[in-house]
Homo-oligomer: A and B are copies of this chain.
């Protein structure tokens, strides 16, 4: 999917909501545990109930890998279901990968070819030759960790490196990489006050913003400092939506939570 197709979808749906599919078998409704594939059954119900209110889904790979083969199979079924039924939806493999060149190419193949996601999240620590192999894929998007939503972001990301914070060095350096137009960035909603500075470095790039909801980030603040003429934001909520209820009404409860956010977004867009 191209960035302009994503922007069109945002305008059509009046939503820049991304729903995180972080499926923990200890948190999903008990009646699903007797299904042949409880993880996929949960995802399918959530997708069926919420797809008209969001423009992106983001499974975090950790939650699938934790269940081994079964989990990887559920991830495969989920991305195939999304690509079959809702090809207009932007898909994000939240995998935070990164390795030396030839190895990053294998990761890129895993998520862009074998699983056919539109995008994957990557970590910057290993530098240019760990990210460029992802950027080489046409019409695929590589979402680089810049300033994350967790407390540990202050351990290294906000430390000053040769005159400016590490996350700013990451942003600036990444702009020099080949095919950098395929980059998006992760900036946590809990760090909304940094968005003004971030927009000075990357005025137009799309940001994937986790941390609204359970982690305490505020939608209004993120939009105030981070929105561009082409929106430029994907706001992710995971637990706040998908675990709205543990009963048989879980999918409609999730839809209710998604609708609250979508309505707030529609108002901001108008």
Seen from chain A, the residues whose Cβ lies within 8 Å of a Cβ on chain B are 22, 24, 60, 62-63, 65-69, 71-73, 76, 94, 96-101, 103-104, 106-107, 109-111, 114-115, 123-131, 145, 148-157, 159-162, 166, 169-170, 173, 215
What is the chain B residue whose CB lies nearest that of A103? B62
Q: How many monomers of this protein are in the complex?
A: 2
What would 30 A/B residue contacts be, using CB atoms closer than 8 Å? A22-B103, A24-B106, A62-B107, A63-B106, A65-B111, A66-B107, A66-B109, A68-B72, A68-B76, A68-B115, A71-B110, A72-B72, A96-B99, A96-B123, A100-B152, A100-B215, A125-B145, A126-B148, A126-B152, A127-B153, A128-B151, A128-B155, A130-B150, A131-B152, A155-B173, A156-B161, A156-B170, A159-B162, A159-B169, A166-B166
CB neighbours of A155 from chain B (8 A): 124, 127-128, 173
Q: Beyond the given A155-B173, A159-B162, could you list 12 further A-B residue pairs with CB under 8 A, ordered by the A residue number? A: A60-B103, A62-B99, A62-B110, A65-B110, A66-B106, A67-B114, A68-B115, A125-B125, A126-B145, A126-B152, A127-B157, A130-B152
